[in-house]
A and B are shown apart, each in its own frame.
Chain A
Amino acid sequence: MKVRIKSHWPPGHIRTPAYLRGKIGQIERRIGLFNNPEETAYRQTGPQRELVRVRFRMADIWGARAERGEDVIEAEIYAHWLEPV
């Protein structure tokens, strides 16, 4: 399933790397529910969030700067950072 990482730029402790924001990838696997670091970093407790591993083609992240476009990056992204494509 294809997803896009939200291109959002809030302040604070964020686990979605900047280089992946706005990029499109495929869900590699769903891992389960975890505490949301964006809240626990500030001693807040909210609902747990689903964590998803997303696979990105290098070409889709870096364009012509990629060493080899068909190499991939995989990263864990919390579901509230994903949007449908």
Chain B
Amino acid sequence: MTEFFGKRWHDMGGNPAGPITPEEHDFALWEKRVDALMVLTSAAGLMTTDSLRRVLEDMGADAYETMTYYERWIASIAQNMVEAGAVTTEELGSKIAEVRARGVTYGAAS
């Protein structure tokens, strides 16, 4: 392990890495909704691309490896909405519990 000198995990340019695998997937409805939430809350002045990225970066390298792209995005957007005062953690906690009680699939709960 080299000593940390200030280069953060997301700052990847020039790092050694494996072959490019030409992965793609069609975006699921819930992923499109996350994307739309980012665009609309930004347009409403509640967050910015920069504040989205700041939280993503602070989530750390482990989140990059273990969560999908839009999972990381919704985590960041939710934190940004709490910071902006648009929602409270209390409201989010209650609502998430309510949503999970509705059904076991995304379709059933949304």
Contacts and interface: CB of A to CB of B under 8 A. Distances in A.
Interface of A: 9-14, 17-20, 35, 37, 40-43, 61-62
Interface of B: 5-8, 11, 13-14, 48-51, 53-54, 57, 83-84
Contacts, number: 45
Given A35-B48, A37-B48, 18 more contacts: A9-B5, A9-B6, A13-B54, A14-B11, A17-B13, A18-B6, A18-B7, A18-B14, A19-B11, A19-B13, A20-B13, A37-B49, A37-B53, A40-B50, A41-B50, A41-B51, A42-B51, A62-B14
18 contacts: A12-B54, A13-B50, A13-B54, A14-B8, A17-B13, A18-B8, A18-B11, A19-B11, A37-B50, A37-B53, A40-B48, A40-B50, A40-B51, A41-B50, A41-B54, A42-B51, A43-B84, A61-B14
